[in-house]
Amino acid sequence: MGHLDGKVAIVTGAGRGIGRGEALALAGEGARVVVNDLGGAWDGEGADRRPASAVAEEIARLGGAATANFDDVTDPDGAERLVSQALETFGRVDVLVNNAGILRDGMLFSIEPKDWAEVINMHLMGHFLPTRAVSRHWRAESKAGNTSHRAIINTTSESGLFGNAGQSNYDAAKMGIVSFTIAAARETAKYGVTVNAIAPRARTRLTTTTFENSNRAAEFATAENRFDAMDPDNIAPFVTFLATDAASDITAQTFIVCGGAVAHVKLPQVSDVLFKEGKWTVDELAGRRDELFKNLGPDVYEGPRGYARLPKQ
């Protein structure tokens, strides 16, 4: 007996890397899977039906049930066709994993607006449109009296949570996914839907490209240790857990997942507060500015200078 017997899952960007591992893990727990992948390059160019088809065939060889889908999830009609294919093929849908994404890195002063916008569109519209399509179906099902736990798992990034130079478009999109997750969770809770986000750290086409020739490149090299902490398949068990009834009371949360570690991310919250009666002056604020940072932890990302390091004078 699998944890997802009888259920149907959609995974976007499932032709390679993290998405492939998620599709296989969901199928391993009994879910029938719609394997979506447009099959483009890491920057979104082109299309290729082979990756999604190969994963669907692999699931079938392992004794599971899967169908390949090649729609563009940034297209409203494509997202609707994706959900319709799940319903027409398997009769229901219970889980949506939004994983598809691209990169087009560049510094603020040199990146082309088109490249900036297309990354935003891919990640945000690519999460919104499948979520919109599936939540409309679940809403109708709930109104008809058909209720059960339904799960959406979104994909954010540590780059979005903490910021990364050269990736302002990707970072803005990925932090936007965190806010989108919270809003979607609030809007769909009454229909039995949980919506959570994961920030995966793993070796994929996107990460190897990002950190190539950097001082972090070794993290993303092919692992030789017994346990490969950067194996993209390490992400799948937690995503699968969030899809099960064991996680039916977890929603609107964000988690970092890497190797054997799962970390719950505290969502934005108020830390220190300055207060006075009346309107502030600039001099008063300058004199009391350090009071805004009294409760800093040891984390490198905290502090008035944050993750960025100002150049020495």
Question: Is-catalytic flag, 174?
Answer: yes
Amino acid type, 34:
V
Whole-angstrom distance, CA of residue 187 vs CA of residue 15: 30
Measure the CA angle with vertex 125, ends 120 and 126; round to 5°.
100
Three-class DSSP category at 65? coil
Dist CA 183 CA 22 (whole Å):
24
**Options 7, 159, 168, 174, the catalytic residue:** 174
In sequence order, which residues have a C-beta less than 8 Å from that of residue 198 and are 6 or more positions away? Answer: 153, 154, 155, 156, 235, 238, 239, 242, 254, 255, 256, 257
Query: Which residues have a Cβ under 8 Å from the Cβ of 75 and sit 6 or more positions away?
Result: 129
**23-26 long-range CB contacts below 8 Å, 24 or more apart?**
23/55, 23/59, 23/66, 24/55, 24/58, 24/59, 24/62, 24/233, 24/236, 25/233, 25/236, 25/237, 25/239, 25/240, 26/95, 26/97, 26/236, 26/239, 26/240, 26/243
Is 170 one of the annotated active-site residues of the chain? Answer: yes
Amino acid at 262: V
Of the candidates 157, 214, 271, 301, the residue annotated as catalytic is 157
Active site residue ranges: 157, 170, 174
